């Protein structure tokens, strides 16, 4: 089965060589071809170019994309889409004056989601996650990372990760599973945090590794959750079992978690709403990519990750949704791109690079996803007729997507 897309107004994020990350100044450059075609064979991008150079290429199906923009699907490197129920009551409580911290301190927040998840069957969880995943693919996401972390017991964490495994098998997009082993201190361990870390290190991580249920190990490194010593213990145990660190850090407080992540060769450090100059220095010496989650800043009314400081220091930056029931009940990468431009002063070029190729890097899949490149997976967004790719970020809140193609097939 082959597919030819013709008369594309602008083909965006075209890379002749297989670039796997873009950093600093280079993020300002988004390569495009105007009046272009794209040729896909089965699930692979085979050829592209200017319409005037389209000669002798025939396909089983042709799409006329006159007036439309074509770009690679979004790569969402940070989500928690497997969860039970919602937390709308806490949302209303926050409007009425409680903080995220107040809610957590009275046993709500992550512990609330953990209770819901522990009481849900694997099938219930799967069915809820199927709806969310289907929706985000229709919004243009073509590769996604999904975390556990609402289990807080060995059995419930395994249940979550088995749901992620089923999603990975049943959906055509790339799914990368993460064991978020230490997300909150369970009630039973309220006065015995080190006992919980013992459980994570001695039982949870080995059980997950034995079933090959995760690629990455994550910790919520934050005041009131897990400190540097706890984080270090979890990352060491995860690494010993072949899991690569990707951590939640500097969401509310910056106290050295970024340096610790870098020391453990973290693939990414995520959140960074709070940032110290030394965090930037340490990131400059590393292969670790910072990940910003503007949907979380929007929803919790907390600072936005200082993208300008990171990019102007020559660093790469990825954008992701953080889709979860507590801090970001949205998996819409289009909103994330727009919010990054409006609130973080990223240019549309930087935001699109951050949401495609750099998002793919933050999942270690940028050799096959995140750009229009010969040999890469044919995961493509065809927009409605829009004036330019800038419009995606500018006209926020509307759905500009006409068609999503995953592995060469219309989704
Ligand atoms: N901060 C930690 N974890 C999630 C929120 C979890 C929740 O509130 O349920 C996040 O990334 O924002
Ligand atoms: Zn998160």
- Per-residue model confidence as pLDDT tens digits over 119-172: 999 999 999 999 999 999 999 999 999 999 999 999 999 999 999 999 999 999
Asked if the model's pLDDT at residue 56 lies above 90, the reply is no
Same domain, 274 and 393: no
Q: pLDDT for 318-350, tens place per residue?
A: 999 999 999 999 999 999 999 999 999 999 999
- Same domain for 376 and 390, yes or no, is yes
Count CB neighbours of 56 within 10 A.
4
Give the mutation target among 220, 294, 297, 304 for probing the ligand 1 site: most ligand atoms within 8 A of CB.
Answer: 220
How much is the pLDDT for 254? 98
* Chain mean pLDDT for the chain: 97
In angstroms, rounded to a whole number, what is the distance separating the alpha carbons of residues 259 and 280?
9
Domain boundary among 326, 345, 361: 361
Ligand nearest to the CA of 324: 1
Q: Which of 343, 361, 379 is the last residue of a domain?
A: 361
Statement to judge: residues 146 and 241 lie in one domain? yes
Residue nearest to atom 9 of ligand 1 (CA): 326
Residues 337, 377 within the same domain: no
Q: Residues lining ligand 1, judged by CB closer than 6 Å?
A: 109-110, 113, 220, 248, 251, 296, 322, 324-327
The three-class DSSP label of residue 225 is coil
Based on the structure, what is the number of domains in the chain?
Answer: 2
For 83-119, write each residue's pLDDT tens digit. 999 999 999 999 999 999 999 988 899 999 999 999 9
* 96, 41: one domain: no
> Which residue range(s) make up the domain with 191?
75-361
Q: Give residue 189's pLDDT.
A: 97
Cα of 324 from ligand 1 centre, angstroms = 7
Question: 103 with 249, same domain?
Answer: yes
Q: Whose CA is nearest to atom 11 of ligand 1?
A: 322
Strands 61-64 and 2-12: parallel
Query: Which residue owns the Cα nearest ligand 1 atom 5?
Result: 327
User: Does 327 carry a binding-site annotation?
Assistant: yes
pLDDT band per the 50, 70, 90 thresholds, residue 57: confident
One DSSP character per residue, 246-309 reads EEEESSS--SSHHHHHHHTT-SEEEE-SS--HHHHHHHHTSSPEEEE-HHHHHHHT-PPP-HHH
Annotated binding-site residue? 261 = no
Residues 266 and 298 in one domain: yes
Say how many Å lie between the CA of residue 271 and the centre of ligand 2: 8
Claim to verify: residue 80 and residue 205 sit in the same structural domain: yes
Do residues 113 and 239 share a domain? yes
CATH of the domain at 402: 2.30.40.10
Q: Nearest C-alpha to atom 12 of ligand 1 is from which residue? A: 327
Give every CB contact of residue 200 below 8 A, 6+ residues apart in sequence: 181, 182, 234, 237
- Closest CA to ligand 1's atom 2: 220
Stretch (H or E) spanning 355: helix 348-355
Overall average pLDDT of the 251-255 stretch: 98
pLDDT band at 55, cuts 50/70/90? confident
pLDDT of 166 reads 98
Q: How far is the CA of 41 from the centre of ligand 2 (A)?
A: 36
Quick one: pLDDT band at residue 291, thresholds 50, 70, 90?
very high
Q: How confident is the model at residue 264 (pLDDT cuts 50, 70, 90)?
A: very high
- Which atom belonging to ligand 1 lies closest to the Cα atom of 300? 12
Q: pLDDT, tens digit, for every residue of 217-239?
A: 999 999 999 999 999 999 999 99
Distance 137 CA to ligand 1 centre (A): 22
The CATH number of whichever domain residue 331 belongs to comes to: 3.20.20.140
Residue 224 assigned to a binding site: no
Is there a single domain that holds both residue 48 and residue 160? Answer: no
Whether 68 and 83 map to the same domain: the answer is no
CA of 326 to the centre of ligand 1 (A): 6
Residue 330 CA to ligand 1 center (angstroms) comes to 13
Asked if this assembly's ipTM is beyond 0.95, the reply is yes
Q: Are residues 238 and 377 in the same domain?
A: no
Q: Is 264 annotated as a binding residue?
A: no
């Amino acid at each position: 089965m082959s597919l030819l897309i013709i008369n594309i107004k602008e083909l965006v994020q075209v890379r002749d060589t297989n670039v796997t990350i873009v950093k600093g100044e280079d993020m300002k450059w988004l390569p495009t071809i105007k009046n272009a075609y794209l040729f896909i064979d089965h699930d692979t991008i085979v050829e592209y170019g200017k319409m005037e150079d389209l000669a002798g290429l025939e396909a089983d199906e042709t799409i006329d994309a006159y007036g439309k923009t074509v770009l690679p699907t979004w790569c969402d490197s940070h989500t928690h889409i497997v969860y039970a129920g919602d937390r709308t009551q806490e949302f209303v409580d926050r409007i009425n004056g409680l903080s995220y911290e107040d809610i957590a301190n009275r046993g709500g927040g992550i512990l609330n989601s953990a209770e819901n998840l522990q009481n849900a069957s694997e099938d219930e969880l799967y069915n809820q996650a199927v709806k969310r995943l289907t929706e985000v693919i229709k919004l243009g996401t073509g590769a996604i990372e999904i975390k556990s972390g609402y289990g807080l017991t060995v059995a419930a964490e395994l249940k979550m990760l088995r749901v992620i495994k089923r999603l990975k098998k049943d959906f055509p997009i790339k799914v990368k599973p993460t064991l978020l082993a230490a997300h909150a201190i369970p009630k039973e361990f309220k006065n015995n945090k080190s006992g919980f870390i013992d459980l994570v290190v001695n039982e949870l991580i080995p059980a997950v590794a034995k079933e090959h249920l995760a690629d990455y190990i994550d910790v919520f490194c934050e005041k009131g959750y897990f400190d540097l010593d706890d984080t270090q213990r979890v990352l060491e145990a995860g690494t010993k079992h072949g899991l690569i660190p990707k951590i939640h850090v500097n969401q509310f407080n910056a106290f050295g978690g970024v340096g610790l992540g870098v020391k453990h060769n973290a693939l990414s450090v995520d959140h960074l709403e709070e940032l110290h100059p030394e965090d930037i220095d340490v990131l400059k010496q590393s292969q670790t990519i910072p990940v910003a989650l503007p949907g979380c800043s929007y929803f919790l009314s907390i600072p936005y990750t200082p993208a300008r400081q990171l990019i102007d220091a020559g660093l790469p930056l990825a954008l992701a949704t953080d889709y979860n029931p507590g801090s970001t009940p949205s998996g819409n990468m289009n909103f994330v791109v727009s919010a990054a431009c409006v609130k973080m002063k990223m240019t549309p070029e930087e935001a699109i690079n951050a949401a495609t190729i750099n998002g793919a890097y933050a999942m270690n899949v940028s050799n096959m996803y995140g750009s229009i490149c010969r040999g890469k997976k044919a995961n493509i967004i065809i927009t409605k007729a829009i004036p330019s790719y800038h419009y995606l970020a500018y006209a926020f809140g509307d759905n500009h997507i006409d068609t999503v193609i995953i592995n060469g097939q219309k989704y």
